[in-house]
């Protein structure tokens, strides 16, 4: 349970105490929730030392979900992406070690359902740390730092897909995800994008973008109760939940409030 990212200026002096230095924001957040999405990896390739620092700043049981690069999803639109995928994994993702959670692939709103295209992409995705390291060794010279191609402790690599085009609302899509063991992101986007609630993998991935207004509105007591009930219905699976309603500082409070409902 956590938030989508943690570095937001409006949070300073509201969620983060006044005077808290920016470099200690992740440390502060990680003592109040047990997970967070790494958003910077969506916008550009990071460096291994940055991933290592994030891992060192957080408690032993903290988990990071890592957002796949928009170069792969939005610019290349999933086509001919073996080398970009290699660069992504070589940029330091594996340096998180056992704190590495699922990889999130967010598709653009104008990318429609294409089963052949998706199948080709899914078949490129590594499913273990060892496979991710092997793929990382195929990187090119576009990395910002020294490549990170050591697998570290062997562990599974999980993948989740968030779709936003209405053409994905068809029975063949969740069947394809289940066949490839890819989680369908259960997203609440205040009615802006397609909403699917199919469980297609051995884990569940939820993104809450705003109850009534995208990125802005908080979740009411009733809405949080309803989400808590849904999460309990998935109790036999690992569930990852991230609040993305960051604009008015609702995300951290909502994450903490929902976690409280699920205790015991």
CATH number, domain containing residue 229? 3.20.20.410
Domain with 242, as residue range(s), is 2-261
How many CA atoms are closer than 13 Å to the CA of 1, on its beta-carbon side? 20
Instruction: Output the 3-class SS for 208-225.
Output: ECCCCCCCCCCCCHHHHH
Give me the chain's average pLDDT, please. 96
Residue 264 has pLDDT above 70, yes or no: no
Query: Looking up tokens 């994450």, which residue turns up?
Result: 255
Q: How many whole angstroms separate alpha carbon 87 and alpha carbon 40?
A: 15
pLDDT in tens, 81-93: 999 999 999 999 9
Q: What is the model's pLDDT at position 256?
A: 98
Please state the domain count of the chain.
1
Mean pLDDT of the region 139-159: 94
Q: What is the pTM of this model?
A: 0.96
Q: What are the tens digits of pLDDT across the range 47-76?
A: 999 999 999 999 999 999 999 999 999 999
Q: Which helix (H) or strand (E) holds 257?
A: helix 250-261
Residue pair 63/97 in contact (Cβ under 8 Å)? The answer is no
For the chain, the first-to-last Cα distance in angstroms comes to 15
* Percentage above 90 pLDDT, the chain: 92
Sorted by sequence, the CB contacts under 8 Å of residue 241 that are 6+ apart come out as 1, 2, 206, 208, 227, 231, 255, 258
CA distance 65 to 87: 18
């Amino acid at each position: 349970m956590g938030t989508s990212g943690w570095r937001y200026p409006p949070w300073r002096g509201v969620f983060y105490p006044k005077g808290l230095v920016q470099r200690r924001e992740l440390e502060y957040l990680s003592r109040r929730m047990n997970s967070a999405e790494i958003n910077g990896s969506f916008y550009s390739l990071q460096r291994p030392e940055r991933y290592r620092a994030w891992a060192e700043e957080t408690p032993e049981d903290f988990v990071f979900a890592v957002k796949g690069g928009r170069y792969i999803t939005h610019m290349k639109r999933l086509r001919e992406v073996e080398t970009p995928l290699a660069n992504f994994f070589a940029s330091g993702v594996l340096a998180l070690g056992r704190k590495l959670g699922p990889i999130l692939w967010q598709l653009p709103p104008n990318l429609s359902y294409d089963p052949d295209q998706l199948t080709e992409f899914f078949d490129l995705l590594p499913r273990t740390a060892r496979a991710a390291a092997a793929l990382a060794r195929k990187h090119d010279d576009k990395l910002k730092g020294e490549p990170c191609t050591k697998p570290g402790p062997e562990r599974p690599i999980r993948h989740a897909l968030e779709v936003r085009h209405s053409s994905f609302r068809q029975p063949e899509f969740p069947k394809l995800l289940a066949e490839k063991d890819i989680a369908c992101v259960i997203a609440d986007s205040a009615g802006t994008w397609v909403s699917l609630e199919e469980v297609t993998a051995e884990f569940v991935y939820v993104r809450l973008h705003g109850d009534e207004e995208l990125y802005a509105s908080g979740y009411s007591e009733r809405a949080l109760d309803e989400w808590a009930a849904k999460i309990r219905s998935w109790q036999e699976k690992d569930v990852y939940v991230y609040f993305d309603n960051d604009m008015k500082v609702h995300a951290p409070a909502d994450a903490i409030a929902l976690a409280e409902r699920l205790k015991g």
